[in-house]
A and B are shown apart, each in its own frame.
Chain A
């Protein structure tokens, strides 16, 4: 097993270096031919560094650090702010799970706006990681859910509210669909995206049964003073345009023991988040003592996101 793996790894490295050399040649030729700097205001080194940046999982710690510094310089250029890009690894013995009490969710959408602020999502783009579906009581057909509801007050009579976001599936179809391995599941169960490796093909979006992945069609428009400076490489750092992004359970917060922004913002306390491997955790109590269900469970994607009701 290990010998076979090694052999394949060797092949990978060989083919990768060949590809790199080829790209490098093109880049050099291009750079020599262009009289004006084509790297748009950044230093030549940064432009080259971005171009030759490896996949997150294959970078050495030094290379990750260099990439982080480039991201920080780019944010300084773009927004004029000093962001902090963290690279906190997953905690050992932690697999995150989430549960929502739909008896308590009243459809206020406070989680949505908190998520937009926390994760530096464009204020005018249609990318929002959480969709709160307004559903008729007694029905469970997600296709009839309306996330554009805008009554004067919520909850409306005869409706219930079902927030949907990335389920962080344990057998994620989006990861299987990605042709370049730009998305993967971290040891703590969070499915993350290397935004610099994503080619924007959007296969993962079609593979996702929960409409949880979003393509950013435009540069996010965020007022500089509203930018969240506390970011994570795999989380809410400013993303380039034209890549796929998704809910990452606020990896910049949860890996430090803090709550995800949606949970912190929820005024009704409908959201329960915690470590699935800890038998004393709140999430485990919910799973063991409440009637829980998951969305589209028949697809076998094993979401780590449950819904439960009072009673």
Chain B
């Protein structure tokens, strides 16, 4: 029984791969997913259009130190990635997928999804990422790069909003979660003054 399932699973896994390799159409979204439009981001990019500079520069695929305006920090993929894995070498106004498709910056999730397929699927169906404006009606979602810097995708820790006010006359339990007592058991100045 288990073997049969295993075989079926293997066969099922192999089938979709073959036509994709033949056609090289690439990924065209999940048909079952609720319709979505992506909040555009291209206009917010500081250096766009990239070709303003890059049409005068020769494409160099060599891994090397980069100078300003592009920093030398690429904290993504643990050293396995280089610019041209995601950026189109011939026309820098576009991105490129692993299949070689040319992708606009506004559709950059298609590039991310090439590796992060599980997250990409969750994002399509709404379990990952952030929806803009509403829960009903037109579904607009933010792109991957709105939240994650593609060159440094992990989010930095930051300060939280202030903690809730403590009721007057009571102090915040010292030590937080493992405090010796509840707030009403920990004495404050006002009660200590009493004889």
Interface residues of chain A, those whose CB is within 8 Å of chain B, are: 101, 104, 106-110, 112-113, 124-126, 128, 131, 134-136, 144-155, 254, 257-259, 263, 266-269, 272-275, 280-283, 285-286, 289-290, 308, 310
Does B166 reach chain A (CB closer than 8 Å)? yes
With A258-B135, A286-B126 already in contact, the answer to whether A149 and B158 are too (CB < 8 A) is no
With A269-B147, A272-B127, A280-B34 already in contact, the answer to whether A257 and B161 are too (CB < 8 A) is no
Give 3 closest A-B pairs by Cβ, nearest first.
A282-B126, A269-B130, A257-B136
Asked if residues A101 and B178 are in contact (CB atoms below 8 Å), the reply is: no
Does B102 reach chain A (CB closer than 8 Å)? no
With A136-B177, A257-B134 already in contact, the answer to whether A112 and B161 are too (CB < 8 A) is yes
Contact residues in B for A134 (Cβ distance below 8 Å) = 176-177
The minimal Cβ–Cβ distance linking A166 to chain B, given in whole angstroms, is: 16
The minimal Cβ–Cβ distance linking A155 to chain B, given in whole angstroms, is: 6
Interface residues of chain B, those whose CB is within 8 Å of chain A, are: 34, 122, 125-131, 133-137, 142, 147, 155, 157-167, 172-173, 176-178
Closest to B171 in A: A148
Closest to B173 in A: A148
Q: Within the assembled complex, what's the spacing in Å between the Cα atoms of A290 and B155?
A: 23
Contact residues in B for A108 (Cβ distance below 8 Å) = 158, 160-161
The minimal Cβ–Cβ distance linking A132 to chain B, given in whole angstroms, is: 8
Contact residues in A for B173 (Cβ distance below 8 Å) = 146, 148
Asked if residues A152 and B159 are in contact (CB atoms below 8 Å), the reply is: yes
The minimal Cβ–Cβ distance linking A278 to chain B, given in whole angstroms, is: 9
Q: Within the assembled complex, what's the spacing in Å between the Cα atoms of A26 and B113?
A: 72
Contact residues in B for A149 (Cβ distance below 8 Å) = 160, 163, 176
Interface centre among B34, B127, B167 (most CB of A within 10 A): B127
Contact residues in B for A266 (Cβ distance below 8 Å) = 130
Please list 12 pairs of residues, one from A and one from B, whose beta carbons are closer than 8 Å in the complex, sorted by A's number: A108-B161, A110-B161, A112-B161, A126-B165, A148-B166, A148-B176, A155-B157, A257-B134, A258-B135, A259-B134, A269-B142, A274-B135
Asked if residues A153 and B127 are in contact (CB atoms below 8 Å), the reply is: no
**Given A108-B160, A258-B134, 14 further pairs, Cβ under 8 A:** A107-B160, A109-B163, A112-B161, A113-B161, A126-B165, A136-B177, A146-B177, A147-B163, A148-B172, A148-B173, A154-B159, A269-B131, A281-B126, A282-B125
B155 CB contact (under 8 Å) in A150, A258, A268: A268
Asked if residues B163 and A148 are in contact (CB atoms below 8 Å), the reply is: yes
Asked if residues B155 and A282 are in contact (CB atoms below 8 Å), the reply is: no
Q: Within the assembled complex, what's the spacing in Å between the Cα atoms of A128 and B142?
A: 29
B127 CB contact (under 8 Å) in A126, A154, A285: A285
B128 CB contact (under 8 Å) in A109, A112, A269, A281: A269
Contact residues in A for B136 (Cβ distance below 8 Å) = 257, 275
